[in-house]
Structure 1
Amino acid sequence: MPTVLLTGATGYVGGRLAPHLAGAADASGGELRLLMRRPDPALAPAGARVVQGDAVSGEGLAEALDGVEIAYYLIHSMGRGGDGDFEARDRAAAEGFGRAAARAGVRRVIYLGGLAGDDASSAHLRSRDEVARLLGEHVEEFVHVRAAMVIGAGSASFQMLRALVGRLPAMICPRWIETRTQPIAIDDVVGALSVLRDRRDVTGDVELGGPEPLSYRRMMELTADAMGRRRPAIVRVPVLSPRLSSYWVQLVTPVERALVRPLVDGLREEMLVRTPPPLGVNDEPRDFGAAVRAALGGR
């Protein structure tokens, strides 16, 4: 009958995960707490308890973590904030949360990061790995869930992909158009995170991806097919800086401006599952077409 704390409960993944965890808590007689900077009970599923707290400032963390056995860490800045230094904010939040979790005796922390190598050139992906390292220093059981691009209606990466395909009949792209990744459906990410609550035999890295590697070019083609649009004409050029790429992405997509540059930087990195997850965790991931159709339907 564990007490579980979910951070990032108002985000896209956290909002989808909360009902699953609430159902598990109800079935086991445990408790689910949702950490929010501005508590809003209307955002909580039935049976969940909303607690006020801020991982960056540390406000309310001791009270929120009191008696908690398992914590989900779904916090990341991704370029948000006035000073633009998301790495510093994420570092401070991870250090503060890790120390607070250790003091409270939390035995298991499950963190959602990115599926990229340790030598990633993207500042955003390097920051995700740094957060994992900092959290892992403080708890007995640390699970680093490393996911590729998430396909879902509320995913900023998918919103960017959808807008590019929907608004541009042709586009000039740099080498990242051929970068391979294994995009994964939001339902599969949520399912894996939910299962890992009780899989005490699973710690360390857990890699999540779709059933097959796809280039961004192929993803654009398949997204156009799902949208019933003509596939965009794509011209690859040898040189186009991430800064220039982010400028034209900002012009044609609804993605928040501060998010675009970190996302574009990450397009250069291969995100491939090198070590399949343990049995029972993402055994039969949805294919890209099915994931896109669900996202287009609002899921």
Structure 2
Amino acid sequence: MSDARKILVTGASGYVGGRLVTSLLEDNADVRVFVRDASKAQSHQWASQVEITVGNASDYKSTLEALTGIHTAFYLLHSINLGPNFDEIESAMARNFAKAAHQSGVKQIVYLGGINNDAKTSKHLQSRANTGKELATTSVPVMEMRAGIIIGSGSASFEMLRHLTHRLPVMTTPKWVMNKTHPIAIRDVLWYLKSAAKLKTPVAGVFDIGGPEVLTYADMMQKFAKLSGLRKRLIIKIPVLTPNLSSLWIGFVTPVPTSLARPLVGSLISEVVADSKKSISQLIPPPTEGLIDVAGAINLALSKVSSNSVTTRWSDAAAITAPWQKAQSDPDWAGEALYKDTKVRITNASMESLWQAIEEIGGENGWYGSDFLWYARGLIDRMIGGVGLRRGRRDPVHLRVGDSLDFWRVESLESGSSLKLYAEMILPGKAWLEFRIKKLPNGQSEVTQEATFSPRGLGGQLYWFAILPLHIFVFPTMIRNLIRSANRKDYAVSNA
């Protein structure tokens, strides 16, 4: 950077924010991140290179502290997973952030929103535009960048496109698939964002950013099919498929849950095309190598997926939870009933191999047996609007705090000793699955596998006892096969 500016990145645990931090650090920027969960931020490779502040943009005190001493603040927050009133929540958060930025003497706010030039707009896109207006209610200049569909490994839009195209050679689709859209590669989004932090003087205004192509969603699916070596998809338009029905179908077929698919689909009912009058090119020219076209963006994303080098994903943000749910890490004394299924085994397997087997659980690696039962539970979850199993894993071998893992999320992780998962499936209560290992004085290893359920009311208690017979198949098999996997790893090492 050309000067000693302090930069704040909100939403640093999310898809764009996590990558923006990396991009800013490559330019030797002085970065502070504002996150709700410090452990999630600390699991990123950049954690030791940034200042981490914890809080919530809805809380004025913590927001003020995060903004103190900041020159440029990136506002990358959204609340589309927080139910039908997400627009009100987003507006309130933006007002709070703007007020704190003004009091802290922030020189520039940079906000990433969505292109909103069509008269027929969705609640999601309108909320994005309203957020920009709320941020601009003080004297702090707000540079609002509006993007269309962002194509990149791990983005919700890309995962929706990828799975729809892969799984459905014949598609009955709503008429919105013929609407024009203006996609942009995540690399180009990051180029514009980090370049905004280098501008000599603060800028206020709305700027549309898009890639070099305007095409329909149907055209994008056909491009994806061709680049993936698939046959041309047969697309049959059905006018009766409403956005709500479409989002339910997408939630069933793709890893993107219905709660997130709904606003994404709602955005597609509009023509999301950049307005040349709002071009950013005079202020921030495109990269010297030019903007990446759709085929190039898809190829880059696919290469990241195939090499297991996806650094951030759409699911890095926490999933929606019921309003009655407390924090995930509620202690045992929080006044709730707890049911536990604990299995303890002693084994000769090494600690190293046991940990490898634990850390590899889930996704395409499976759950060490009874996978048909896990699949059935995931299918039921998706049918009632949950996340299901299709989120998979970010990385096939390693986990970090905050990772989504099928319908679980990594709540805590002590490398080499413990892994605790929190259930994000739809449940009449809260559930955890924990693995702990320790070395015994006699040289053997102790493995503890513990499932914990905190029921909500009578329905939750009945649910626990209803699924107890399934535990006979699932949990003993799981710990037995986990240890077998560790033994095989030890055998492979000793015979290498």
TM-score (norm 1): 0.93
- Residue 232 (structure 1) shift: 1.4
Give the structure 1 partner of residue 151 of structure 2.
Answer: 151
CA distance in 2 between counterparts of 1:233 and 1:43 reads 41
1:184 aligns with 2:188: no
Please give the per-residue CA displacement for 1:31-50, whole angstroms capped at 9, x wherever unaligned.
21000111132326252111
Matched residue SS, 1:72: strand
Partner secondary structure for residue 131 of structure 2: helix
Q: Is 1:3 matched with 2:9? A: no
Q: Is the 8 A contact 1:90 1:127 kept in 2?
A: yes
Deviations 1:216-254 (A, max 9, x none): 110000011111111210011233211111121111010
Query: In 2, are the aligned partners of 1:34 and 1:51 still within 8 Å (CA)?
Result: yes
Contact 2:156 2:256 in 1 (8 A): yes
Q: Secondary structure at the match of 2:111?
A: strand
Map 1:103-118 onto structure 2 (within 5 A): 103-117=103-117
- Superposed, 1:12-161 pairs within 5 Å as 12-26=15-29, 31-40=30-39, 41-43=42-44, 45=46, 46-78=48-80, 80-81=81-82, 83-117=83-117, 119-161=119-161
Q: Secondary structure at the match of 2:194?
A: helix
Cα displacement string for residues 261-291 of structure 1 (whole angstroms, at most 9, x for unaligned residues): 1111111111112123224343521010010
* TM-score between the two structures when normalised by the length of structure 2: 0.57
* 1:100-140 deviation per Cα after TM superposition (whole angstroms, max 9, x unaligned): 11110111000000012263420000000000000011243
- Relative distance call for 1:296 and 1:53 in structure 2 (3 A) is same
* Percent of residue pairs identical: 37
SS of structure 1 residue aligned to 2:53 = strand
Q: Deviations over 1:170-221 (max 9, x none)?
A: 1111221111111100000011100011223643112111101010110000
Q: Deviations along 1:21-67, whole A, 9 cap, x unmatched?
A: 223344xxxx2100011113232625211111111233511111111
What does residue 293 of structure 1 align with? 299
Q: In the alignment, what sits opposite 1:248?
A: 249
Task: Give the Cα separation in 1 of the matches to 2:244 and 2:17.
Answer: 30
**Counterpart in the other structure of 1:196:** 196
Deviates more, 1:83-92 or 1:172-181: 83-92
> In the aligned structure 2, how far is the partner of 1:127 from the partner of 1:281?
28
Secondary structure of the residue aligned to 2:164 is helix
**d(CA) in 2 for partners of 1:105 and 1:118?**
35
Which residue does the alignment assign to 2:353?
A: none
Aligned-CA RMSD value: 1.6
Tell me the number of residue pairs that the alignment of Structure 1 and Structure 2 aligns. Answer: 293
1:54 is paired with a residue whose SS is coil
When residues 281 and 225 of structure 1 are mapped into structure 2, their CA distance, relative to the original with a 3 A threshold, is same
Residue pair 2:209, 2:280 contacting (<8 A) in 1 also: yes
Higher-Rg member (1/2): 2
Q: Tell me how far apart the structure 1 counterparts of residues 165 and 56 of structure 2 sit (CA, whole Å).
A: 37
Amino acid at match of 2:101: A
Moved >6 Å (runs of 4+): none
Once the two structures are overlaid, the 10-residue window that deviates more, 125-134 or 207-216, is 207-216
User: Structure 1: any 5+ residue segments left out of the alignment?
Assistant: none
Q: Are 2:213 and 1:212 aligned?
A: yes
Aligned partners of 2:7 and 2:31 also within 8 Å: yes
Greater displacement, 269-278 / 171-180: 269-278
Secondary structure in 2 matching 1:297? helix
| CA distance in structure 1 between the partners assigned to 2:264 and 2:213 by the alignment | 21
Evaluate the alpha carbon distance shift between residue 50 and residue 254 of structure 1 in structure 2; reply closer, same or farther with a 3 A threshold.
same
Aligned partners of 1:258 and 1:244: how far apart in 2?
12
Q: Distance in 2 between matches of 1:231 and 1:152?
A: 22
Match of 2:233 in 1: 232
In structure 2, stretches of 5+ residues that fail to align are 305-309, 311-496
Quote the offset at 1:260 in angstroms: 0.8
